[in-house]
Amino acid sequence: MSSATAKAPAGPQSARRSATRFALMRLHSLAGIVPLGLFLLEHLYTNAVAMFGEAAYNRQIGRLQSLPFLGAAEIVFIALPLLYHAGYGIYIAGMARNNATRYSYRNNWLFVLQRASGIVTLVFVLAHLWAIRLAALFYGTTVDYQHVQQHVSQPLVLALYAIGSIGATFHFTNGMAAALVTWGITVGPRSQELAARIGLGLFAALSCMWIAVLLAF
């Protein structure tokens, strides 16, 4: 190929954009696991205490609410990472070309489901935040076993919580497998296949736990 027709190498500006995009992708995946994924697991554990009865659940909630600087910690370690993860996730979903209907490979469908479950999770988290955290703060309602029980005793609310919890769990577990690729940990097809299978198994186990928690109320 002659020099006149050879493709010019990418300039420094293009390289900087690629590096920035790569860094943002890594930060996005990291925020989905630490701290948001860990918070999901902690939230599951806290609510699972309800299976041991009303008194045990209220003690657990009391311990959490007595933590020093709880409000500041929620803003720094939950709200801000959630804003970034959700905002950049929406950007990724808008820029992506979903081709699962043309190429019905599992990875394509997982990609589509990851984007869809992200939207479901965001809507669910905002609704849950208002119903449990902000409404209680504004109206002085005590968040305890009775409050949560009354909230999820409505069939529609219970169904929405089941969908939201399962959606958030899928987004977390499938996102972990994707994060391993993003961070260069699973570099070959076999390791990526193993990570995907572990993620799906973890999704099934955690989803069953969420359903058991909801029924405990």
**CATH label of the domain that carries residue 91:** 1.20.1300.10
Tell whether 3 is covered by a domain: no
Report pLDDT for 1.
46
| Residue 16 placed within a domain | no
Q: How does DSSP assign 39-85, residue by residue?
A: HHHHHHHHHHGGGG-HHHHHHHHHHHHTSTTHHHHHIIIIIHHHHHH
2: Cβ–Cβ under 8 A, 6 or more apart, which residues? Answer: none
**For position 2, what pLDDT does the model report?**
43
Q: Confidence class of residue 119 from pLDDT cuts 50, 70 and 90?
A: very high
Domain that includes residue 212, residue range = 21-216
pLDDT for 4: 46
* Residue 10, pLDDT score: 57
pLDDT of residue 67: 92
Banded model confidence at residue 98, pLDDT cuts 50, 70, 90: low
| Predicted local distance difference test score (pLDDT) of residue 109 | 84
Q: Is 179 within 8 Å of 29 (Cβ atoms)?
A: yes
Structural domain contains residue 6: no
Q: Each residue of 124-163: pLDDT tens digit? A: 999 999 888 887 778 878 889 999 999 999 999 999 999 9
User: In terms of pLDDT, which residue wins out, 168 or 98?
Assistant: 168
**Quick one: pLDDT at residue 141?**
81
| Position 7 in a domain | no
Residue 100 has pLDDT above 60, yes or no: no
- Structural domain contains residue 72: yes
Write down the pTM of the prediction: 0.87
Which of the two residues, 178 and 140, has the higher pLDDT score?
Answer: 178
Number of domains making up the chain: 1
For residue 109, is it within any domain? yes
Q: Is residue 8 part of a domain?
A: no
Q: What is the mean pLDDT of the chain?
A: 88
The confidence score (pLDDT) of residue 83 equals 95
Give the pair of three-digit tokens for residue 62: 């009391």
Q: Is residue 11 part of a domain?
A: no
**Of the candidates 156, 185, 172, the residue with the CA atom closest to the CA atom of residue 41:** 172
What local confidence, expressed as pLDDT, does residue 102 receive?
Answer: 55
